[in-house]
Amino acid sequence: MEGGGAVSDVMTQEAGTDVQQMNMIQAINSAMDVMMERDPTVVVMGEDVGFFGGVFRATAGLQQKYGKNRVFDTPITECGIIGVAVGMGAYGLRPVPEIQFADYIYPALDQLVSEAGRLRYRSAGEFIAPMTVRSPFGGGIFGGQTHSQSPEGIFTHCSGIKTVIPSTPYDAKGLLIAAIEDNDPTIFFEPKRIYNGPFDGEYDTPATSWAGHRDAQVPTGYYRIPLGKARIARAGGALTILCYGTMVHVVEHTVAMLGLDAEIVDLRSLVPLDIETIEASVKKTGRCLIVHEATRTSGFGAELLAQVQERCFHYLEAPIERVTGFDTPYPHSLEWAYFPGPVRIREAINKIMKD
């Protein structure tokens, strides 16, 4: 499915569903609303998610509609939030806890990795942890080192946990519904830089909104996009670019500026990974660039590089390149030097295409 927005074999949708223009926050809110209405076991929890509606307003109105027993505020204790969610899942609920910023998810690592991720295995299938952990992540908002991190690579390393990252309002709703319905724990990272509009990486130009964007046309009712199915954001034959989240839009802009016939693969989910779509694209183009905002060393791009090399070595016409964040804390004063913007992406493309 190119671009998204159309009913296809990667989407299940209820008949008669209207379509509205939504930004990513509204689409995420709609996903939780739909699932809470359909399934009384779905509960939403986290810091300020109830009365306040979340720091980004992603849960606005849900407590008023479903009550304090199903949408409730928690203390500021990430390990407690996730620990309680694990117990809820084991006893039949489907919790959707929010970690207010991904930078603060680390205190909950033991609960996520040692408990949620292994519960099905250690109980021989007797218990499951059907929880979806929502968390805004990534930079581009001058959040500094404690509000800009991209820790997705940590969770892709941990067996039993799924990792999902949308890049459009349309995908955000469909993927979140699929994650909530899934019986395994899912980390759902939301690129906060594109909550209100796509970002092309040109930081010194006016911000744009999702208004009029094809992927902001979101069904108001139930639909799901299965986890583990990538999206061809742009078809092409000269180069494959693998990316996700905010980087999808930065890459699309850079490729358009260069006039390059590149194929852009929006991964959507890192675990499970749609390696079949990746392999088919790289074998077609013979070249591969990987772009992500997280730090370079042991970032998910390293895993992508390894898998592409293993499967496509004899088809490659140039070395695989990566454009990533640097191996430093996310700097406030040097935000745009760290951020993988059009300049660094263009340099990597030129290097690949010269080989």
Q: Does residue 210 sit in the same domain as residue 248?
A: no
Q: Average the pLDDT over 171-179 and give the result.
A: 98
Boundary of a domain, candidates 190, 219, 248: 219
User: Which one of 147, 213, 253, 292 is the catalytic residue?
Assistant: 147
Segment holding 122, helix H or strand E: helix 119-122
Boundary of a domain, candidates 195, 219, 243: 219
Q: Average the pLDDT over 128-141 and give the result.
A: 97
**Res. 7 pLDDT band, cuts 50 70 90:** very low
Q: Does residue 210 sit in the same domain as residue 253?
A: no
Angle value at C-alpha 137, between 158 and 169, nearest 5 degrees: 105
**Res. 262 pLDDT band, cuts 50 70 90:** very high
Q: Does residue 129 sit in the same domain as residue 208?
A: yes
* Structure token pair of residue 73: 């505020």
Q: Does residue 265 sit in the same domain as residue 292?
A: yes
CATH number at residue 169: 3.40.50.970
Q: Average the pLDDT over 29-48 and give the result.
A: 98
Three-class secondary structure of residue 72 per DSSP: strand
Q: Does residue 331 sit in the same domain as residue 287?
A: yes
Strand arrangement, sheet containing 321-325: 231-234, 262-266, 239-243, 288-295, 321-325
Q: Does residue 211 sit in the same domain as residue 238?
A: no
* Domain limits for position 26: 21-219
Boundary of a domain, candidates 167, 192, 219: 219
Q: Average the pLDDT over 126-131 and give the result.
A: 97
CATH number at residue 269: 3.40.50.920
What does the longest C-alpha to C-alpha distance in the chain come to?
A: 60
Q: Does residue 339 sit in the same domain as residue 194?
A: no
Q: Does residue 211 sit in the same domain as residue 322?
A: no
**Res. 317 pLDDT band, cuts 50 70 90:** very high
Q: Does residue 211 sit in the same domain as residue 236?
A: no
Q: Does residue 271 sit in the same domain as residue 191?
A: no
**Res. 355 pLDDT band, cuts 50 70 90:** low
Number of domains making up the chain? 2
pTM summary value: 0.95
Residue 5 lies in a domain: no
Residue 80 lies in a domain: yes
- The pLDDT score that the predictor gives to residue 312 is 98
pLDDT tens for 295-315 read: 999 999 999 999 999 999 999
Q: Is the peptide bond before 272 cis (omega within 30 degrees of 0)?
A: yes
Angle value at C-alpha 188, between 247 and 307, nearest 5 degrees: 60
**Res. 13 pLDDT band, cuts 50 70 90:** confident
Whether the predicted pLDDT of 4 surpasses 50: no
* Structure token pair of residue 231: 């999206």
Does 147 qualify as catalytic in the annotation?
Answer: yes
